[in-house]
Structure 1
């Protein structure tokens, strides 16, 4: 069916309007994306907050640090999805010492952070602090185990890898631990968290298949003289602190392997 001249003009006009609308939409989408918060702008602040809490804990815990990760999706403006990102460290101390350790961290942050404590749960009062758009929290996960997290607002972007090089002192240390219990590392990861005096570096390794029994007794000889060893409670775990160095060794969830995490502090 042939269109009349008037019909052809209308069709052309419709196409032009659609093209202009699409172009305008693309320009708007780019402008809207440029004005939204990005994780790149706050990741340094997140890392500093976690590192400050770790440093404030001092010798009262063994520590490990993790990569910045996307923790949850969230709505960000019209038809756009962002993500909430977290930076994290884990602290291992004696069961029953969790609230005291959080108090030590609170005192160490005083003057730089406006802190507050939550209502006690199982005798432990979680710590919170807001730094710009970042929310820092220190809370008990289980007996002797605390999590330090810095949480971003809803943001665009991708979390940086934060990995460390292929060879570090931590590699030698974790290999020595696994050799002592008759196995070897089969996978390895590394994470670096910047701090005010340098960086906190955790090297993690997972062993090949190995018996998890009597882990503490089998590793006693590998613990440096003078190191502070933290009580494991019910966990099949060894955690100690030797000056700025932490070591955390634990049986995997399925009981077939051992994980080792070696951390050097600021």
Structure 2
């Protein structure tokens, strides 16, 4: 006589569990739908980086990078997200960093509420908030500035661009690597839209090679009339020829050469 009662209890427990599981799944889906997504921030991030690069003018050689996940973060209960960054690198003469940051600040005035940090080694980093996105321009090393737009904690993911084999940038980096006796092992392309076109960077990492003495080995490849930027002690060649920027550098371990060819807006 007790068995039917036990069966009813089991049935009630099963139904209750199913209802709770369905409710939890519905809540999880609802909670996920209300979380910020990187898709909603990408345009703001890339626009901020583009505006800073355009404000820099021809005072630096420029490269742009993909939007990437920079760090993990907490989005809420049992849910992880990531902070994403969009980035450009500016190469100018050592000692000209503070002046270049001031030029960028002036170019952003009226569209961004900018502020400057306390000086570190005579350089005051620039910051601006655009909604949940934070833009910064700071010195990484002598002559090298990073322009970074950072999202808030977000869900989602982004794709990395692939290079068009027929683009001028691919031909440019391939030719430069041939000058030092190697060829591309990997090629990528990044594009930031601007009002009058796009900033396009084709990046290559060479096959293994001794990356020493790049300035000497590339001495005859810099076009006449191009503006070359001093590299201080870095094993790097950076120049700007009109709207085209080229940056050639040794990998961290000196066993490969990186080349970035950028066409500005």
Q: Please tell me whether the aligned partners of residues 212 and 250 of structure 2 are also in contact (alpha carbons under 8 angstroms).
A: no
Report how far residue 209 of structure 1 moved. Answer: 3.1
Find the aligned partners of 2:254 and 2:212 in 1 and give their Cα distance.
Answer: 9
Give the secondary structure class of the aligned counterpart of 2:233.
coil
Give 1:1-266 correspondences, 5 Å limit: 4-266=3-265
Give the secondary structure class of the aligned counterpart of 2:76.
coil
Find the aligned partners of 2:38 and 2:185 in 1 and give their Cα distance.
Answer: 33
Deviations along 1:15-50, one digit per CA (max 9) or x if unpaired, are 001000000011111111111111111101100000
Q: CA RMSD in A?
A: 1.3
Describe the shift of the 1:161–1:121 C-alpha distance in structure 2 as closer, same or farther (beyond 3 A): same
Report how far residue 111 of structure 1 moved. Answer: 0.7
Find the aligned partners of 1:7 and 1:166 in 2 and give their Cα distance.
Answer: 71
Report how far residue 186 of structure 1 moved. Answer: 2.2
Q: Which moved more, 1:179-188 or 1:244-253?
A: 179-188
Give the secondary structure class of the aligned counterpart of 2:165.
coil
Q: Please tell me whether the aligned partners of residues 50 and 150 of structure 1 are also in contact (alpha carbons under 8 angstroms).
A: yes
Give the secondary structure class of the aligned counterpart of 1:32.
helix
Q: Please tell me whether the aligned partners of residues 64 and 90 of structure 1 are also in contact (alpha carbons under 8 angstroms).
A: yes
Report how far residue 161 of structure 1 moved. Answer: 2.6
Find the aligned partners of 1:100 and 1:3 in 2 and give their Cα distance.
Answer: 87
Q: Which moved more, 1:111-120 or 1:163-172?
A: 163-172
Describe the shift of the 1:3–1:80 C-alpha distance in structure 2 as closer, same or farther (beyond 3 A): farther
Report how far residue 214 of structure 1 moved. Answer: 2.7
TM-score, normalised to structure 1's length? 0.96
Find the aligned partners of 2:129 and 2:163 in 1 and give their Cα distance.
Answer: 29
5+ residue gaps, structure 2, are: none
5+ residue gaps, structure 1, are: none
Deviations along 1:83-117, one digit per CA (max 9) or x if unpaired, are 11110011111111111110010001111100000
Find the aligned partners of 1:3 and 1:245 in 2 and give their Cα distance.
Answer: 86
Give the secondary structure class of the aligned counterpart of 1:67.
coil
Provide the aligned length of Structure 1 versus Structure 2: 265
TM-score, normalised to structure 2's length? 0.96
Give the secondary structure class of the aligned counterpart of 1:220.
coil
Q: Please tell me whether the aligned partners of residues 212 and 254 of structure 2 are also in contact (alpha carbons under 8 angstroms).
A: no
Q: Please tell me whether the aligned partners of residues 163 and 170 of structure 2 are also in contact (alpha carbons under 8 angstroms).
A: no
Report how far residue 3 of structure 1 moved. Answer: 5.6
Describe the shift of the 1:188–1:173 C-alpha distance in structure 2 as closer, same or farther (beyond 3 A): same
